[in-house]
Amino acid sequence: MQQHVYCTVVDYGSELWEQLLALRQEVLRQPLGLTFSPEELAEEYLGLHMCYREPEGPILGSIALFPHEVAIDTFHLRRVAVSPLARGQGVGKKLLSFAEHHALLMGRSKLELSARMSVLPFYEKNGYVAQGDVYEHLTIPHIKMTKMLEQTAG
């Protein structure tokens, strides 16, 4: 019998949200010898958190939308993490599509993100465009990327 995997919105503070934090720690911070700061954890309630998972199984991927500080038509895409067990299986692409759909439903037409240079080709394949110069964040080269969502809607 084949297990179905799916994307879902995760309630802030729930048990599933705690599992998201554990995945993000494992994928995004542990390799750098870091943990999420109290300030970063304090702002988590502002985000719309989503995951990709098997029913009753582990979370295989995580993504979140955060309000833009200035532009009301824009969300920041953050906390993108895919379990090492699920890489190369389309999890990231499915999470992006799910987040983009929710952004459109919420009246947003643009997404911004800060991409690690190592995953730049992934975002480019999914319609994101690099903006500006490369900069360092948490010791890793990053670049700002954007996507206009109305171009992909419909």
The full DSSP string for 6-54 is EEEEE-TTSHHHHHHHHHHIIIIIGGGT----HHHHHGGGGSEEEEEE-
Query: Can you give the pLDDT at residue 149?
Result: 94
Positions in the chain whose pLDDT score sits under 70: 1-5, 151-154
Residue 83 domain flag: yes
Residue 137 domain flag: no
Residue 110: how many CB atoms within 10 A of its CB? Answer: 15
Residue 133 domain flag: no
How many domains does the structure of the chain reveal? 1
- C-beta of residue 74 within 8 angstroms of C-beta of residue 54: no
Residue 25 domain flag: yes
Query: Can you give the pLDDT at residue 101?
Result: 94
Query: Can you give the pLDDT at residue 139?
Result: 85
Query: Can you give the pLDDT at residue 48?
Result: 95
Query: Can you give the pLDDT at residue 5?
Result: 64
Residue 144 domain flag: no
- CATH code assigned at 62: 3.40.630.30
Residue 141 domain flag: no
- C-beta of residue 149 within 8 angstroms of C-beta of residue 113: no
Residue 23 domain flag: yes
Amino acid letter, residue 103: A
Residue 124 domain flag: no
Query: Can you give the pLDDT at residue 154?
Result: 44
The DSSP string of 41-108 is HHGGGGSEEEEEE-TTS-EEEEEEEEE-SS-TTEEEEEEEEE-GGGTTTTHHHHHHHHHHHHHHHTT-
Give the range of the structural domain holding residue 43, as residue numbers without chain letter: 6-109
